[in-house]
Amino acid sequence: MIPAVALLIVFFLGPIIWAVYTSLTDQTLSGATATHAQFIGIKNFRELFGVGTSGIRAVLNTAIFTAACVLIQNALGLTIALLMRRRNRYVRGTIGAIVVSCWIVPEIVAGFVWYSFLQPPVPGVGGGGTVSVVLHFFGLTQNWLTTIPVLTVILANGWRGTAFSMLVYGAAVGDIPPEQLESASVDGANGLARLRYVILPTLRKIIATNTLLITLQTLGVFTLIFTITGGEQGATLPILMWQQFNIGQIGYPNAIAVVLLIVGGFFATFYLIVLRPDAD
Amino acid sequence: MKLDITSPSPNIGKVVANGVLILIGILFLVPMTWLILASVDGNAGLSVGLSHFTFANFKKVWTWNLVARPLLNGLLISGVTALIVAVFSALCAYPLSRYRLRFGNSFLYTVLFGASLPATAIVIPVYTLFIHFHLVNSILGVIIFEGAGALPYSIWLTKNFMDGVPIDIEEAAWMDGAGTLDSLRRIVLPLVIPGLVAMFVFTFIESWGNFFAPFILLSSPSKFPIAVSIESFFGNRGEVIYGQLAAFSVIYSAPIIILYLLVQRVLSAGFRLEGGIKG
- A12-23 pLDDT tens trace: 889 999 999 989
**Average pLDDT estimate for B114-134:** 90
ipTM of the predicted structure? 0.89
- B254-276 pLDDT tens trace: 999 999 888 776 654 443 433 33
Vertex B147, ends B142 and B151: CA angle to 5°? 160
- Chain A: closest CA distance from residue B250 (Å): 9
pLDDT of residue A125: 74
- A19-56 pLDDT tens trace: 999 899 888 887 777 777 788 888 889 888 887 788 89
- Chain A: closest CA distance from residue B211 (Å): 7
**Average pLDDT estimate for A140-155:** 89
Give the per-residue SS3 of chain A: CHHHHHHHHHHHHHHHHHHHHHCCECCECCCHHHHCCCECCCHHHHHHHCCCCHHHHHHHHHHHHHHHHHHHHHHHHHHHHHHHCCCCHHHHHHHHHHHHHHHHCCHHHHHHHHHHHCCCCECCCECCCHHHHHHHHCCCCCCHHHHCHHHHHHHHHHHHHHHHHHHHHHHHHHCCCHHHHHHHHHCCCCHHHHHHHHHHHHCHHHHHHHHHHHHHHHHCCCHHHHHHHCCCCCCCHHHHHHHHHHCCECHHHHHHHHHHHHHHHHHHHHHHHHHCCCCC
Q: Which residue of A has its CA nearest to B253?
A: A105
For the domain with range B56-278, which CATH number is right: 3.30.465.10, 3.50.50.60, 3.40.190.10, 1.10.3720.10?
A: 1.10.3720.10
Residue type, A23: S
**Average pLDDT estimate for A94-111:** 93
Residues of chain B in contact with residue A213, where contact means CB-CB under 8 angstroms, are: 116
- Chain B: closest CA distance from residue A131 (Å): 8
d(CA A74, CA A161): 9
Q: Which residue of A has its CA nearest to B128?
A: A250
Is the model's pLDDT at A142 over the cut of 90? no
User: Which carries the bigger pLDDT value, residue B185 or residue A151?
Assistant: A151
Residues 216-235 of B with CB under 8 A from A: 216, 227, 230-231, 234
Residue in A7, A76, A112 nearest the CB of B148? A7
**Cβ within 8 Å of residue A34, ≥6 positions away:** A27, A28
Confidence of residue B6 (pLDDT cuts 50, 70, 90): very low
Cross-chain residue pair B205–A104, CB shorter than 8 Å: yes
pLDDT of residue B10: 60
CATH superfamily ID and name for A73-234: MetI-like (1.10.3720.10)
Residues 110-129 of B with CB under 8 A from A: 111-114, 116-122, 124-129
In chain A, domain spans: 1-41+237-280, 73-234
Residues of chain A in contact with residue B30, where contact means CB-CB under 8 angstroms, are: 117, 130
- A224-251 pLDDT tens trace: 999 999 888 778 999 999 999 999 989 9
- A186-229 pLDDT tens trace: 887 777 888 888 888 888 888 999 999 999 999 999 999 999 99
Residues of chain A in contact with residue B260, where contact means CB-CB under 8 angstroms, are: 104
- Chain A: closest CA distance from residue B197 (Å): 18
The H-or-E segment that residue B81 falls in is helix B69-98
Cross-chain residue pair A99–B25, CB shorter than 8 Å: yes
Residues 151-210 of B with CB under 8 A from A: 151-152, 155, 205, 208-209
In chain B, domain spans: 2-39, 56-278
Residues of chain B in contact with residue A37, where contact means CB-CB under 8 angstroms, are: none
